[in-house]
Amino acid sequence: MADDKDVLRDVWFGRIPTCFTLYQDEITEREAEPFYLLLPRMSYLTLVTDKVKKHFLKVMKAEDIEEMWFDFEGTSLKWHYPIGLLFDLHASNTALPWSITVHFKNFPKCDLLHCPSNSVIEAHFMSSIKEADALKHKSQVINDMQKKDHKQLWMGLQNDKFDQFWAMNRKLMEYPTEEGGFRYIPFRIYLTMSDRPFIQKLFRPISPDGHTHTLGDLLKEVYPVAIPNDDESKRYQVVIHGIEPLLETPLQWLSEHLSHPDNFLHISVIPAPSD
C-alpha cells in the first residue's frame, strides 16, 4: 500500500497555475492587473478564490460588485464541479497558465448555480459524498459516522489538510473482503461534445463471474465511442486528474485512489489533439 499512498498524495496536491483577468467591461477606477494563483485540482472555485476577489475589489467600487463568477473562452465555469475537472474538460490541451476571466456582473443563472456562502459549498460537497456512499455501501458507512466525522471531511478539504481528510475518508474506501470491492462505483463521465451534462450509471467493479472490471470495461459499456478501434488512430482522450490512465486499470483501484475528495471518479472524454 506504500506506493498507492503516494498516489493519494499526488492527487490531493495537484495544482493548476492560473491567471485571473478581469472582464474588460467591468467598471474599474483604475487598471486591473491580472492575478496569478495555483489552484488545487481537488477543490472548488468559490472555495479558493477569496484572494482573487480581494485583488479586484481594490480597483472597483462596492456598488459595481455582484456575485463573482468565472468563464474560460466564453464557457461559464461551474463552481460546483471540481477545479481539476473543469481544467481537464475545457482547457486540457491549451497553454499554461490557465487563463480565466473574472466577472462581477450579469451572473448567468441559466448556466451557473449561485454560491452565496461556503456553507453552500459544504452542503454540495457532503451531498456528493453521501451519494457516492449510497452507491458504494448503501450509505451504511457514511450513516455510521458521526456529525463531527462529516465535519472533519469538510474541514480537511477546506483547509487543505490531507491527513485530517484521509483519517476519515479511508473508512469510505473500505469494503467487505469477500465482496472484492464496492457495490457500485461512483463515477461521472463528462463529454465536451454533448448536450447532456454527464453519464452516470450503475456499474459494478467485479462481474458476477468474478472478473475484475477495468476502465476499458466501463467505457465499453457506457461510452464505447471513447475506445479506439484497432485500425484507427485515437480520436479521444480519457482523462482523470490530468492523466490518461491505462484502460486496463482496475476500476476498483481507480475508485479508491483517483477519486476526488467527494468520492466520485470524474472522468473527462475530450477530443485528442491533432498535431
Residues 234-266 as b/e (b if ≥16 CB within 10 A, e otherwise) read eebbbbbbeeebebeebbbbbbbbbbbbbbbbb
The rounded distance, in Å, linking the Cα atoms of 153 and 268 is 25
CB of 130 to another protein, least distance (A): 4
**Selected range binding another protein among 47-55, 90-98, 110-118, 251-259, rule: CB under 8 A:** 110-118
CB of 8 to another protein, least distance (A): 24
The rounded distance, in Å, linking the Cα atoms of 25 and 150 is 42
The rounded distance, in Å, linking the Cα atoms of 106 and 76 is 12
Q: Report angle CA 188, 46, 24 to the nearest 5 degrees.
A: 110
Would you count residue 131 as binding another protein (CB under 8 A)? yes
Nearer to another protein, 68 or 142 (CB): 142
- Site residues for another protein, window 175-214 (CB under 8 A)? 184, 195-198, 200-202
**Selected range binding another protein among 30-38, 127-135, 164-172, 241-249, rule: CB under 8 A:** 127-135
- Candidates 114, 189, 124, 198; CA nearest to 157 is 124
The rounded distance, in Å, linking the Cα atoms of 98 and 41 is 12
Pick left, alpha or beta for residue 254 (phi over 0 → left; psi -120 to 50 → alpha; otherwise beta). Answer: alpha
CB of 192 to another protein, least distance (A): 15
Would you count residue 109 as binding another protein (CB under 8 A)? yes
Would you count residue 124 as binding another protein (CB under 8 A)? yes
Would you count residue 143 as binding another protein (CB under 8 A)? yes
Cα-Cα-Cα-Cα dihedral of 205, 208, 210, 216, to 10°?
Answer: -40
**Selected range binding another protein among 25-33, 108-116, 161-169, 170-178, rule: CB under 8 A:** 108-116
Nearer to another protein, 62 or 202 (CB): 202
Would you count residue 144 as binding another protein (CB under 8 A)? no
Query: In this structure, what DSSP letter does residue 192 have?
Result: T
- Site residues for another protein, window 40-99 (CB under 8 A)? 80
Nearer to another protein, 67 or 131 (CB): 131
Among residues 60, 126, 173, 243, the one that binds another protein under rule CB under 8 A: 126
To which H or E segment does residue 13 belong? none
CB of 258 to another protein, least distance (A): 20
C-alpha cell at 32: 486591473
* Chain positions contacting another protein, by CB under 8 A: 80, 109-111, 113, 123-124, 126-128, 130-131, 134-135, 139, 142-143, 147, 150, 184, 195-198, 200-202
